[in-house]
Structure 1
Amino acid sequence: MTNKTFEHTAEQVLFFLHIPKTAGSTLHKIIERQYSSNKVFTIHGVNPQKHIDEFKKWTPLDKNRIKVVKGHMNFGLHESIEQPATYITMLRHPIDRAISTYYYVLRSPSHHLHEYVTSKRISLKDFVCDGLFTDMDNGQTRRISGVSVGQFSGYKEVRFGECYPELLEQAKHNIDRYFAVIGIQEKFDESLLMMKKKMNWKNCYYVKQNVSSIRVKQQEISEDYYYAIAQFNDLDMKLYEFVKKKIEQEILDEENSFKKDLNNFHSYNKIYGNIVQSISIPRNYLRSFKKKFSST
């Protein structure tokens, strides 16, 4: 969803609010091609609060050279800089996101919940509903409204199971006022093209990052599991539908030109992916293709 009332300018610092398990790793790579590395500050996922605190302590002079702040954060970090700012992010269907998060924890020994979840044989339903991880309780609405998801200090705290309807309204308000583009993972390419256009990006071709097939799909879980997860993500469900409808309407408004751009993107991206993944192609040939793509 593009905020049509919001015009991105060169003076604005871009904040990529990376909500976990929403294809953020792929988008990170694309963003890094758009800006000089010395103008990008990345909040890494292992200990995001450490990097957030580090950035907040920077002098105004140091912050002034930054054009992009990206990573796991809540809305509101822009208040620590003097420059004007805008945000982008991706949402994901809350049921799919919960499933993806659960299986990520199962296969990631470095995750703080991995040992507990695996040793106790915690089910997907219990992982979401038992208060183990605040991010499973309307985590997307929490981040965009600017309240705590459990591992961040300096944000208003809302404990597990205590989300209230006003958070959804605050999230929508923040989207309307501060977000240049907000996409959904299920329409990743469409969302990416909106960002490309709004942010004047080049070379947005990609190979998917951190994709796992070791998980069940939304339609494969029981009705009991589905409604249990939905109960703790009712605000996220509404926020997702709010954004999804706006994206679909925007695509419909620009149906002919958007369809053409999307088809072209799919064609070139398929070629790009084949080249990147083929180790048999000489490096200089690969570089020539990347140079060509960087101008489109």
Structure 2
Amino acid sequence: MSQAIILFTHIPKTGGTSIKKSLISGRNVKEVKFSGLKKFFLEDHDEIEFLNGHYPYGVHHFLRARRKKYYFVILREPLDQAISYYYFVKQCDHSSYRHPHLEDVKKYPIGEFYKIKEYQNIQTKYIAGFPCHPFSKLLPEMFGSKLLLRYAKNNLEHNYNFFGLLENIDACQEILAMELGLSNLKIKDISKITRDRPSAEELDKESKKSIFEANALDFKLYEHSKKVFHDRYFG
């Protein structure tokens, strides 16, 4: 494993569970689970190799370990990610685990669900990260949105060691393996796959329109990231 601390910006429903298992499966990796900033700040970071969990860019500001950091993220086509997330939450309704957002999914159809600001532009928010995302909420919406998108684009191009696209996951795994000095990253985990979801083509027009409008930043960021990714690795 690389001597750098691996920081994977695991955005929900972007293939992250498979990527994570690829990195740690069969390897003696010292991982720490991110469970919020307060707890993370109090933990011992001296031997950490991989930070597990859902956290935004910028968490390195709270790492006390003085080693190099290796940041990477995988993006997903936003309409597909939005559908997958909604129906994944819907299926997490068991006595052993109920998703924190389950009540909103039960209450609202998918088009209405994404009118709730908390669920909008998740990929942009994660990649813009800390402190940009908290600060942007203090600004008028137009200025906050511009700031988020600008920071997300800048972080992808200049602050992430690697970013990839779920649609090119095989190539992404090969690049990660080479950069981190690993092999056998092509592990597919199906434990968190979304079942019984419509495809983007099957979704009704009104719901699609609502998702496009609510997640406009994610669509802009994804188009930008596709161009940069292909120019960088296949140009």
TM-score per shorter chain, which class?
0.7 to 0.9
Paired AA for residue 229 in structure 2: I
Paired AA for residue 92 in structure 2: S
Instruction: Structure 1: give runs of 5+ residues left out of the alignment.
Output: 1-8, 254-296
Contact 2:114 2:211 in 1 (8 A): yes
After superposition, give the CA deviation of every residue in 1:134-173 in whole Å (9 maximum; x if it has no partner). 1x211111111115899xxxx54628x9341121111122
Distance 1:188 1:143 in 2: 19
TM-score, normalisation: structure 1: 0.69
Tell me how far 1:225 sits from its aligned partner.
Answer: 1.8
Question: Which protein, 1 or 2, shows the higher relative CO under an 8 Å CA cutoff with sep ≥ 6?
Answer: 2
Superposition pairs for residues 116-195 of structure 1, below 5 Å? 116-118=104-106, 120=107, 122-129=108-115, 131=116, 134=118, 136-147=119-130, 155-156=134-135, 158=137, 162=141, 163-195=144-176
Alignment CA distance shift 1:215-1:70 (3 Å):
same
Q: Which residue of structure 2 lines up, in the alignment, with residue 89 of structure 1? A: 73
Distance 1:140 1:207 in 2: 22
Paired AA for residue 77 in structure 2: H
Q: Which residue of structure 1 lines up, in the alignment, with residue 32 of structure 2? A: 41
Secondary structure at the aligned position of 1:64 is classed as coil
- Rg comparison, structure with higher value: 1
Q: Which residue of structure 2 lines up, in the alignment, with residue 56 of structure 1? A: 41
Distance 1:147 1:98 in 2: 22
Aligned residues: 225
Q: Which residue of structure 2 lines up, in the alignment, with residue 32 of structure 1? A: 24
Contact 2:4 2:69 in 1 (8 A): yes
Tell me how far 1:115 sits from its aligned partner.
Answer: 3.4
Contact 1:183 1:192 in 2 (8 A): no
2:84 to 95, 100, 106: 100
Contact 1:33 1:203 in 2 (8 A): no
Contact 2:14 2:166 in 1 (8 A): yes
CA RMSD of the aligned region, Å?
2.5
Paired AA for residue 32 in structure 2: F
Alignment CA distance shift 1:105-1:33 (3 Å):
closer
After superposition, give the CA deviation of every residue in 1:52-92 in whole Å (9 maximum; x if it has no partner). 4222112xxx3121121122001111011233312111111
Alignment CA distance shift 1:92-1:148 (3 Å):
farther
After superposition, give the CA deviation of every residue in 1:21-63 in whole Å (9 maximum; x if it has no partner). 11111111011137523x21123xxxx32xx4222112xxx31
2:14 to 22, 32, 36: 22
After superposition, give the CA deviation of every residue in 1:244-277 in whole Å (9 maximum; x if it has no partner). 1222234434xxxxxxxxxxxxxxxxxxxxxxxx
Contact 1:86 1:178 in 2 (8 A): no
Percent of aligned pairs with the same amino acid: 26
Tell me how far 1:117 sits from its aligned partner.
Answer: 3.1
Alignment CA distance shift 1:168-1:116 (3 Å):
closer
Alignment CA distance shift 1:34-1:15 (3 Å):
farther
Distance 1:75 1:224 in 2: 33
